[in-house]
Structure 1
Amino acid sequence: MKRLFRFLFRTLITIVGIVLLYLLCAWLFSRITVKAEPGQSPDIMVYLKTNGVHADIVLPVKNEFKDWSADIPYAHTRSGDTAVSYLAFGWGDKAFYLETPTWADLKFKTAFRAAFALSSTAMHTTYYPALKEDESCIKLAMGADQYKRLIKFIENGFEKDSSGKPIVIPTEARYGQYDAFYEATGTYSLFQTCNTWTNKALKASGQKACWWTPFDKGIFYQYKK
C-alpha cells in the first residue's frame, strides 16, 4: 500500500510540475517580442479580437486584394446578412468548437484529445457589421505586401474541396447569427493552439507578435505594453 501511495504521490508531483513548467514557458515566451517589419505603410486596417479565451484576426470583407465572401458565403451563416464589413478568423480544435458551447460542456475526452493532437481542426469565421476598439479589440495597420501574406496564411488554414473552396461544416453548433465553421488544416495541441495560430498569422504578415504563446493574453500583452 505504501508503494502505491508513493507512486501516486510522485505521479501527482510530476503532473503538477509539468503543468507549472508549461505555464512558466507560456508566460516567459509570450514576453519575448517579435518585432514588426520596419517601414510599413498603413494601407489596410485589421483587428485583433478576443472573447477572453480565443484571439481572432479580423479582416475587411472586401477590398482590392480579396473578397472573402466569395470563399465564405453569407448564406453559410444563419442570418445571411450581407450588410457586414469585417470577417474574423479563428483556427482551433474541431471537437472543442462544435461540442463545447460553454466551459460547463467541456468533456475530459475532448480536452485530452485536443491537448495531445488526437483530433481534427476547424476554422471558425464570424462576420461583423462594425467593430469598436476596446480592451478586447485592437486595431493595427499593415502595408499591402504584409496584407497579401496574411491572406495567404489564412487561406492555407482552410481545407479545400476539388474546386479550391473552403469546405463548410454542416452543424447547428453556432455562437451566433453571423458565424460558420469550416474544415481546417493542421493539428491542434498544447503547443499549437488557436492563439498560437493567430500569433503565427501576425508573424507571417510581418506584425509584432510573441515568440510563442498558447494564450490570448500573450498576444494582447504585446500590443498593450
Structure 2
Amino acid sequence: MNRLKKSLRIGLLAGFVLALALLLGTCVPVNRAFRPAPAGIPVFVVSNGFHTDIVLPLREPRTGTDWLTWLENPAWARQFSAYQYVAMGWGNAGFYMASYGGHLPGAGTVLRALVPGPTLMHIDFYPAAPRPGPRAVALRVSEAQYRQLLNYVQASFERDSTGRLMPIPQAGYTPEDFFLQAKGKYHAFRTCNDWTNQGLKQAGIRAAWKAPLAGSVIYQVRKGGE
C-alpha cells in the first residue's frame, strides 16, 4: 500500500511538473528579435479556439510558389483559380475524421490522440485574406523566412512510392477544404498547435518555446506582429 501511495505521489508530481513546463513554455518566446518586414510576404496564423493553421498566399511570385500546381490536382486548380490564400494544418487523423458535421469528438477519440497515431494535412482554400482579429494574426515576413516556412509545410505532406501526394477519399468539412496523408505521429507532446509553432520557430518567426494549445501559438505570434 505504501508503495502504491508513493507511486501515486510521484505520478501526481510528474503531472504537475509537466503542466508547469507547458505553461512556462507558452510564456517563453523564441525568436524574440523577430520584427515584421514592412514590404514582406503576407502570412497569417488563424485559430478556431482549439486548432491553428498557417495561411499562405496561394501564389507567391517572389518565390515562384503556386500551391495549385504543387498540390497536383487539376480539379482544385480549376475550382480555386480565383482564390488568393490557402490554409495548412496538421493533426490527428481520428480527431479530424470524428469532427465531420461539426461534431465534437468523443472521449475515446480524445484519449487515443494522446498516444502516437496517424496524421493528416488539412488544406482550406480562402477567396481572400483572413481578417485579423482575436483568432487571426497577420504578419509580414522576409523572403528567406517565407521559404523556410514553405519548406516546413511542404515537408509535412506524405507521398506514395511514386512520389505523388496522397489525398484521402473523404472531402473536407466544406466544398473548399480537403485532407491528405501527412508525415509524423500525433501525440500528447506533438499536437496540431505544436506543429504550427515549430514551423514558425524554424522560420525565425516569434513563437512559443512550447505550444500545446492554440492560445499559446496566437499569444506569441501576436506579440511578434506588434
TM category (shorter chain) comes to: 0.7 to 0.9
Indicate whether 1:55 and 2:52 are aligned: yes
| Counterparts of 2:14 and 2:82, CA distance in 1 | 48
Matched position secondary structure for 1:27: helix
| Structure 2 counterpart of 1:211, from 205, 209, 212 | 209
Q: Which moved more, 1:22-31 or 1:188-197?
A: 22-31
Whether the 8 Å CA contact 1:100–1:106 is kept in 2: the answer is no
Task: Trace 1:101-112 onto structure 2 (pairs within 5 A).
Answer: 101=100, 102=102, 104-108=104-108, 110-112=109-111
- Number of the residue aligned with 2:75: 75
TM-score normalised per structure 2:
0.84
What is the deviation of 1:121? 0.6
Matched position secondary structure for 1:105: coil
| Counterparts of 1:49 and 1:147, CA distance in 2 | 17
Task: Trace 1:102-181 onto structure 2 (pairs within 5 A).
Answer: 102=102, 104-108=104-108, 110-117=109-116, 119-130=117-128, 131-172=130-171, 174-181=172-179
What is the deviation of 1:18? 5.1
- Number of the residue aligned with 2:27: 31
TM-score normalised per structure 1:
0.84
Matched position secondary structure for 1:170: strand
| Structure 1 counterpart of 2:200, from 196, 199, 202 | 202
Whether the 8 Å CA contact 2:30–2:209 is kept in 1: the answer is yes
What is the deviation of 1:75? 2.8
Indicate whether 1:192 and 2:190 are aligned: yes
Whether the 8 Å CA contact 1:46–1:57 is kept in 2: the answer is yes
What is the deviation of 1:177? 1.9
Q: Which moved more, 1:49-58 or 1:64-73?
A: 64-73
What is the deviation of 1:39? 7.3
| Counterparts of 2:87 and 2:113, CA distance in 1 | 22
Give 2:53's aligned amino acid: D
Per-residue CA deviation, residues 160-202 of structure 1 (Å, 9 max, x unaligned), is: 1345332101114x22221000100011111100000000110
Identity %: 31
Flag the 1:30–1:76 CA change in 2: closer, same or farther, 3 A: same
Matched position secondary structure for 2:59: coil
RMSD: 2.7
- Number of the residue aligned with 1:43: 40
| Counterparts of 2:74 and 2:206, CA distance in 1 | 31
Matched position secondary structure for 2:194: helix
Structure 1 unaligned regions, length at least 5: none
| Counterparts of 1:16 and 1:104, CA distance in 2 | 28
| Counterparts of 2:53 and 2:82, CA distance in 1 | 21
Structure 2 unaligned regions, length at least 5: none
Over 6 Å off, 4+ runs = 9-15
Whether the 8 Å CA contact 1:89–1:125 is kept in 2: the answer is yes
Q: Which moved more, 1:189-198 or 1:19-28?
A: 19-28
